[in-house]
Structure 1
């Protein structure tokens, strides 16, 4: 259970907490007091922890090779799971978990290909900003592509500027100068981290 460091769903705003312990300390203190084996069993008995209480649970584990952490992709039971994990760590009680593990990796060749063909930036998905950018690009006759970013960055979009378009490269230079987030550099860093993690003995 201690190997799980994050969850996919909760009534709490998961992005507001850097650890599961912090979440349960803040929002569910009644679930972690007292710190006893009985309280651990009470939390583990919660039926919404599907990874424990379903023969064929919809919940599964996810691992991201550039990150190294393991997440439980859950449909419910987040607070009871986090509370059980919290107590188990403090009374040194092992709680084995069993389920499907999905492993995700960055396609390093795809990242290299994207970087070869495009400069990539991140822009807030705000109508005033995106429409203003589109109008400016149209007026300047510079080409670009865009794509919504996945969770948890759905409030932003990726902007891809083709290197083959000289006008787009002038826009890229302006975005660099203005301090826009360089998505290409970030993806390259994740790919390098993934490679380094796999090279370790």
Structure 2
């Protein structure tokens, strides 16, 4: 077994030769070390698990992306000592990337609501409010009568004239009730209203979030953005780019799925600089998720 492992590993002279070749190509501005580490699996590709549930947690929160950081990223630039200097860089295209509008007198029927924000069962991977009602609210939806409908609507968590809603243009055809309580009674009431063809009017505040196409075009024209596993950014990845003397930015991704984004970082590479542009190509070829493409596809 040990002999097989030794024989399968490249000989020392070949490792030395590869190192010399890579150093030469790196010095000429070609990301040889990066490519070799990508090909050898040292820098693994990982894709986020985005789930299309009816819960608000499944909405990618572009509207709050880097809000806490005041739209600044960490920017690594080669310093006088040959190592990276860690700087803060403001990204002006993020200012106004998402437009928000609030309506205080929004009115809709209960059947128009397609998503909820909270429930004791919000960990369930369900794609629709109808499925939630049928699987987790059956006791509240029987018998199929207007009296049962009214009893659900009278639940203390449902203030039918003081609702708060959200909608996102990148999550089409889904209006979310930003509830704190009452998810099961609401879903049962919605199911009963549909079955009984009984209108139920809801009023309250609507917060609408929409993309700013001009800002997205400006952002993606300047930057290539890739999602990279958090654990490799400041190790093998940074070292490979340092050998190339390539500046790059690092930031958190937008929030999604109750914190799943914490397993990733966004790598920022300027399109119009030679070294970053040459890094973008092997990252794209290796299959790292392109956040630039995702932004360009937002509606």
| TM-score range for the pair, normalised by the shorter chain length | 0.7 to 0.9
- Larger of the two Rg values belongs to structure: 2
Aligned counterpart in structure 2 of residue 17 of structure 1, from 93, 115, 126: 126
- Distance in 2 (alpha carbons) for counterparts of 1:103 and 1:10: 22
> Using the alignment, how far apart are the partners of 2:196 and 2:183 within structure 1?
20
2:285 matches 1:177: yes
1:1-201 equivalence runs, <5 A? 1-13=110-122, 16-49=125-158, 51-52=159-160, 57=162, 59-66=163-170, 67-124=172-229, 126=230, 128-132=231-235, 133-153=237-257, 154-156=259-261, 157-190=265-298, 194=299
Q: Per the alignment, do residues 43 and 137 of structure 1 end up closer, same or farther by CA in structure 2, a change over 3 Å counting?
A: farther
CA gap 1:105/1:144 in 2 versus in 1, 3 angstroms: same
Helix, strand or coil: the match of 2:228? Answer: strand
SS in structure 1 at match of 2:119: coil
Mapped to 1, the partners of 2:124 and 2:254 lie a distance apart of 14
What is the CA–CA distance in structure 2 between the aligned matches of 1:77 and 1:85, rounded to whole Å? Answer: 12
Name whichever of 87-96 and 27-36 sits farther off.
27-36
Q: Hey, what does 1:199 align to over in structure 2?
A: none
Deviation at 1:139, TM superposition (A): 4.2
Q: Counterparts of 2:254 and 2:246 in 1: how far apart (Å)?
A: 26
Mapped partners of 1:189, 1:32: distance in 2: 39
Per the TM alignment, residue 15 of structure 1 is displaced from its structure 2 partner at its CA by 6.5
Q: Please state how far the C-alpha of 1:14 moved relative to its aligned partner.
A: 5.6
Preserved CA contact (<8 Å) 2:160 2:201: no
Aligned residues: 184
Query: Unpaired runs of 5+ in structure 2?
Result: 1-109
TM-score, scaled to structure 2:
0.56
> Contact 1:14 / 1:23 at 8 angstroms: preserved in 2?
no
Alpha-carbon distance, 1:134 to partner: 3.6
Query: Contact (CA 8 Å) 2:137, 2:187: kept in 1 or not?
Result: no
Contiguous gaps of at least 5 residues in structure 1: 195-201
Cα RMSD (Å) of the superposition? Answer: 2.2
